[in-house]
Structure 1
Amino acid sequence: YLKSHPANEGWKIFVFTHAPPNGSGLRVLQEIHVVNGCCWLNHSNEQRCRKFIELVREHRSIKGWFSGHFHLGQDYQDSITFPTIPREEGPYPNRGSCVFAQTSVMRAGTSRDGRQQSRLLRGNSKGFEICTVDHAKGGTIRLDATITYRDDSHELGVYAHPDESLEHDNYFKVRMPQEDDDGYMCGPEDETECVLSDDPVDEQDNYWWRLSCGRVLGLTNGMLLEYDSSTLAPLGLVVSADELVGKRIAVIDSGIEECEINFDADGAMEEDPDCDMEGFDEREQAVIMYDENYEVTVIQPNEDGSYWRKIVRNKIARMKERRREKAALEFAAKGLEEDKSNVKEKVQSSWGPYTTTSGIAKSTVVPGTEKAPKPTAFVSR
């Protein structure tokens, strides 16, 4: 559809989805959506999550994208984000030619910040206007932003009023890094280990860094988060504040020393005959957390290379899990000839997480449950 409706033919496309795409730059909730990894469309799948912003970047006929996932009001300026210009001309990330807008809720019982608002989109010969309909104030209409088309592939947005955030609204905001901002600490270009701070982490720290593999990690509100390597949007929680505050973070090299890349006097790479240079993409690093006594915790990445913890499963997967548990409960109740409410404690689930670096499986016991006693004798039948 997008290919057959290009910007250079005058097409203007507006998209409406429940959740916004990764890279939209809209305000997100740290305590709910970031921690649980459910901020963006297809958040649980890295490639599928990023495809929407890539479509926006490629197809400049997409002019507006509206979403309502966060249940937040429309008084914050970051409830609307404007397109960014090319990297060589100014701030990044690139949002194509699209304006992203957060849409609030009409009913007080579903609002997270007390606002009761919806959006009104008004088109004109030069572009369009985004307005707020305030249902708590009798349906009054307020102009929020004016967007003017400069040509088929570019538009200019102007906010119509200052940010109206309240004092407590910082609770709702998660800091998003920006390329070349003051919070950038270190990256693949740094050859030595990176101790991110001489002082223990506190909730006021805001800095971020890139690993040699391209992954982006950062500290905000006392939490260690992972950010998308392209859009710098928050992906999810790596270490919570209750575990991290008061400790320090460092990035150290962890690869085999003999496989480090060296260069000769002419700048040519010297290959080590004992190393597989074809499979060498970047130097291996370890992210560690430690206290004043050097009690060290290695923050291991997931098997796919990401760091953010998938604390909450995909909603469809959880529905299936509950159905399996219900079936197991009915099975146990039938076998014991008892009511299901009396056998709940006999049914539990096992997900089999990896808990050790050992390559030998030793136990599949669910943590918190008792092991069956060892038999005193074996009988063959």
Structure 2
Amino acid sequence: MPLCRSVAAAANSRAARQLVFAGAARRRSGMGAAAASAALELRGAAARPGSVKAAGARAGVDAAAAAEVPQGCRPGFSCGAAGGGAEAVWPVSIMGDLHLEPAQMHLFAEAQGHLRAAMADGEGRLLPGARVVQVGDLGGYKHGPGTRGCFEVALDYLSGFGAPFSLITGNHDLEGHEFETDEENLEAWRDVFGQRHYWAAEVGPVLLVGLSTVRFRSNAFSVHEVYVDDEQVAWFEALLAAHPGRPVAVLTHAPPAGSGLKVVQGVHVKNRCAWLNHSDRPGRFIELVERHPNVRLWFSGHFHLAQNYPDSITAVGRCAFVQVGVIGDCNRDGFRQSRLLRVTQSGYQVLTVDHGAGGRTRVDLEQDWDDDSTPSPVTPEDELVCDSSVGWLCSNLDCGLSSPIDASPDAAPATRWFAAGPNCLLAHHEGGLLVEYDCATRAPIGLVADATGKHVSLVAAGDAPPARDDGSDAVAVLLRDPSTGETSRIGRNERGTFFRVFQPNKWEAKRREAQERAAAAAAGGAAKSEAAVAVQ
């Protein structure tokens, strides 16, 4: 039975529903052991701001050379061992989307104190290995996100930690109104922070890797799609190939498709900006993880969701995918949280730092580097905000997600699944949103329609039921209102599947509107001039 049909059949039976909801359960074993840990010789890692800027501005990067010489983040970030020895600890504070706003700076100052305390010794001094990392989206709209002024405000804030720090770009970091191109905007970011936008840093036994989005104005569809270009991917693959036995922790603004992390269907999936490279080979990153079992951790933000959901930490093979919350009031669920990664020679811990609870810390995940098993969160059950048994859409959020699935033994499946082609699966969630999933990654990749209260069916030519097992002969989705009998029809898109583009590139649309207004004004001015000449 073809994959999509088998997945649909399994998902429509309560006993096997977790097959789909687990996101990437099919990959959770058989990854094999990593090679023995190899030493990394860092040459020129603590690069000067000027040299980093020059490196980042190059038209191309020799991937092999980049793999041999990881570029430092801020000067001093890649500084090797912190005291050395088996008992050494490298604490790394990982902050999600900041969206700094003037009226909320007291919240950010408070969170800074919490994180410094979490990275300190018993005397209140920062441990020698303390580091700070931020995953993009620096400014709120009062600070003009993506502008040089916004970057300078963020630089002041990050400098206040008193520890080496580095960051990557998020989608909002490239929307500066003073720039005409993404390249100009990115160059200003590099200039202010004195670092390259992609980098590798040595944190004890771990290579910490940052990959940035490079598109906003030039995105094919939504300006908010997080896009890592081919240059960065080639460099990252070369880095992994050069150091196959070294544990790697990755930071990107959005997570990879196939990671299984919670998303907001009605926002990020609808606008096709949930995953890295959502509109261009989104599965390439999870495939990279499958090929390189030394990728052990992957941190991301973007969704403004808390760290209290069962799918705030997921796993594929030996790699744990970790969602990072927000510090300010831009959360979707009332939680203000950051992550703390504690690295030792033997393993790691991932903790939540809860800024709404006075900086209280909680261990969510821990594992030894030589443990080949799939990482499993250890978050206490009473800290979770919903029942993990109800699957992918488990949520008590007030941000557009459907109500929890009815998991009672006699309940009919609350989500109906339809095979719609070789790699296309449609899900009518809770009688509400009709969402398209990619079979290879089992990730929701786009919204087809809001089908609340509608009966959903697939039809082949002549409105006959599809005859092929994989649904590839379906030509349309029919949505029927049972109360009125009214039916609407949705055909396949230009890619041969069914998702709709609800958010075209808004920046491009605004530019066209401005050009049209300017042309109309010029035409009006010319007409007035001609009229004046005629009167004379």
TM-score relative to the length of structure 2: 0.45
Change beyond 3 A, Cα 1:125–1:29 = same
18, 21, 35: which one aligns with 2:253: 18
- Give the letter aligned to residue 71 of structure 1: H
The SS at the match of 1:106 is: coil
* Bigger share in strand: 1
Deviation at 1:116, TM superposition (A): 1.2
The SS at the match of 1:52 is: helix
Separation in structure 2 between the aligned mates of residue 3 and residue 337 of structure 1, nearest angstrom: 58
Q: In the alignment, is the contact (CA less than 8 A) between 1:27 and 1:174 conserved in 2?
A: no
Separation in structure 2 between the aligned mates of residue 50 and residue 174 of structure 1, nearest angstrom: 24
Q: How does 1:63-142 map to 2 (within 5 A)?
A: 63-82=296-315, 95-107=316-328, 109-142=329-362
479, 483, 489: which one aligns with 1:289: 479
Change beyond 3 A, Cα 1:157–1:211 = same
Q: In the alignment, is the contact (CA less than 8 A) between 1:149 and 1:155 conserved in 2?
A: no
Change beyond 3 A, Cα 1:100–1:112 = same
For 1:30-56, what per-residue CA distance to the aligned partner results, in whole angstroms no more than 9, with x for missing partners? 2311222211111123x2x11111111
Q: In the alignment, is the contact (CA less than 8 A) between 1:28 and 1:172 conserved in 2?
A: no
Partner of 1:252: 459
143, 159, 162: which one aligns with 2:378: 159
Deviation at 1:173, TM superposition (A): 8.3
For 1:256-292, what per-residue CA distance to the aligned partner results, in whole angstroms no more than 9, with x for missing partners? 99xx99xxxxxxxxxxxxxxxxxxx985223323345
- Give the letter aligned to residue 366 of structure 2: T
For 1:289-327, what per-residue CA distance to the aligned partner results, in whole angstroms no more than 9, with x for missing partners? 3345765433211011121111002xxx32122122112
Separation in structure 1 between the aligned mates of residue 425 and residue 313 of structure 2, nearest angstrom: 25
CA RMSD of superposed structures (Å)? 3.2
Please state if 1:36 is matched with 2:224. Answer: no
Separation in structure 1 between the aligned mates of residue 345 and residue 401 of structure 2, nearest angstrom: 37
Separation in structure 1 between the aligned mates of residue 422 and residue 486 of structure 2, nearest angstrom: 26
Partner of 1:233: 443
294, 299, 306: which one aligns with 1:61: 294
Q: In the alignment, is the contact (CA less than 8 A) between 1:216 and 1:226 conserved in 2?
A: yes
Please state if 1:169 is matched with 2:396. Answer: yes
- Give the letter aligned to residue 60 of structure 1: P
Partner of 1:356: none
TM-score relative to the length of structure 1: 0.62
Q: In percent, how many aligned pairs have the same letter?
A: 36
Q: How does 1:176-187 map to 2 (within 5 A)?
A: none
Unaligned runs of 5+ in 2: 1-235, 388-394, 527-536
Change beyond 3 A, Cα 1:238–1:126 = same
The SS at the match of 1:36 is: coil
Change beyond 3 A, Cα 1:157–1:127 = farther
Partner of 1:300: 491
| Larger relative contact order (Cα-Cα within 8 Å, sequence gap ≥ 6) | 2
Change beyond 3 A, Cα 1:333–1:283 = closer
Separation in structure 2 between the aligned mates of residue 303 and residue 294 of structure 1, nearest angstrom: 29
Separation in structure 2 between the aligned mates of residue 305 and residue 137 of structure 1, nearest angstrom: 49
Q: How does 1:219-230 map to 2 (within 5 A)?
A: 219-221=428-430, 222-230=432-440
Separation in structure 2 between the aligned mates of residue 21 and residue 174 of structure 1, nearest angstrom: 20
Partner of 1:215: 424
Deviation at 1:174, TM superposition (A): 5.7
Change beyond 3 A, Cα 1:29–1:4 = closer
Deviation at 1:23, TM superposition (A): 0.9
Change beyond 3 A, Cα 1:209–1:65 = same
Question: Rg larger in 1 or in 2?
Answer: 1
Separation in structure 2 between the aligned mates of residue 70 and residue 256 of structure 1, nearest angstrom: 39
Change beyond 3 A, Cα 1:8–1:327 = closer
Partner of 2:519: 331
Change beyond 3 A, Cα 1:256–1:298 = closer
Separation in structure 1 between the aligned mates of residue 242 and residue 312 of structure 2, nearest angstrom: 25
Separation in structure 2 between the aligned mates of residue 238 and residue 120 of structure 1, nearest angstrom: 38
Partner of 1:206: 415
Please state if 1:321 is matched with 2:528. Answer: no
- Give the letter aligned to residue 44 of structure 1: S
The SS at the match of 1:32 is: helix
Separation in structure 2 between the aligned mates of residue 232 and residue 121 of structure 1, nearest angstrom: 28
Separation in structure 2 between the aligned mates of residue 105 and residue 295 of structure 1, nearest angstrom: 43
Q: In the alignment, is the contact (CA less than 8 A) between 2:423 and 2:438 conserved in 1?
A: no
Q: In the alignment, is the contact (CA less than 8 A) between 2:340 and 2:352 conserved in 1?
A: yes
The SS at the match of 2:376 is: strand
For 1:106-163, what per-residue CA distance to the aligned partner results, in whole angstroms no more than 9, with x for missing partners? 11x2212121111100123442111011122222221111123455x64433423125
- Give the letter aligned to residue 295 of structure 2: I
